[in-house]
């Protein structure tokens, strides 16, 4: 089950983005905002942004967002390092 958010046409039209990039950019912005507020961990935020670990990490660096590194991220890194 997924969640859909309705955004009014007037807001969509006010966005200064090409139509084909709107959904992608909104997903990334939401992912960054939720990660910054520690509502989503890194792995789920990058999943929401539809980016791999490296790309999302670089996006955070460009936005000057401090990386939160907790137990869940540590376990993700161990799993990745083991090739699992």
User: pLDDT tens-digit profile of 1-48?
Assistant: 799 999 999 999 999 999 999 999 999 999 999 999 999 989 899 999
* Average pLDDT of the chain, as a whole number: 92
pTM score: 0.79
Question: 47: helix, coil or strand?
Answer: helix
Q: Is the pLDDT of residue 84 over 80?
A: no
pLDDT at 73: 73
pLDDT band, residue 75 (cuts 50/70/90):
confident
Average pLDDT over residues 66-73: 81
Instruction: Say how far apart CA 3 and CA 33 lie, in whole Å.
Output: 17
Q: Give the CA count within 13 Å in the CB-facing half-sphere of 55.
A: 10
DSSP state of 39: S
């Amino acid at each position: 089950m997924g969640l859909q958010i309705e955004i009014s046409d007037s807001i969509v039209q006010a966005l200064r983005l090409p139509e084909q990039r709107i959904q992608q950019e909104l997903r990334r912005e939401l992912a960054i905002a939720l990660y910054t507020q520690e509502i989503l961990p890194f792995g789920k935020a990058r999943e929401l942004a539809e980016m791999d670990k490296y790309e999302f990490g670089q996006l955070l660096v460009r936005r000057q967002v401090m990386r939160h590194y907790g137990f869940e991220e540590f376990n993700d890194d161990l799993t990745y390092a083991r090739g699992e």
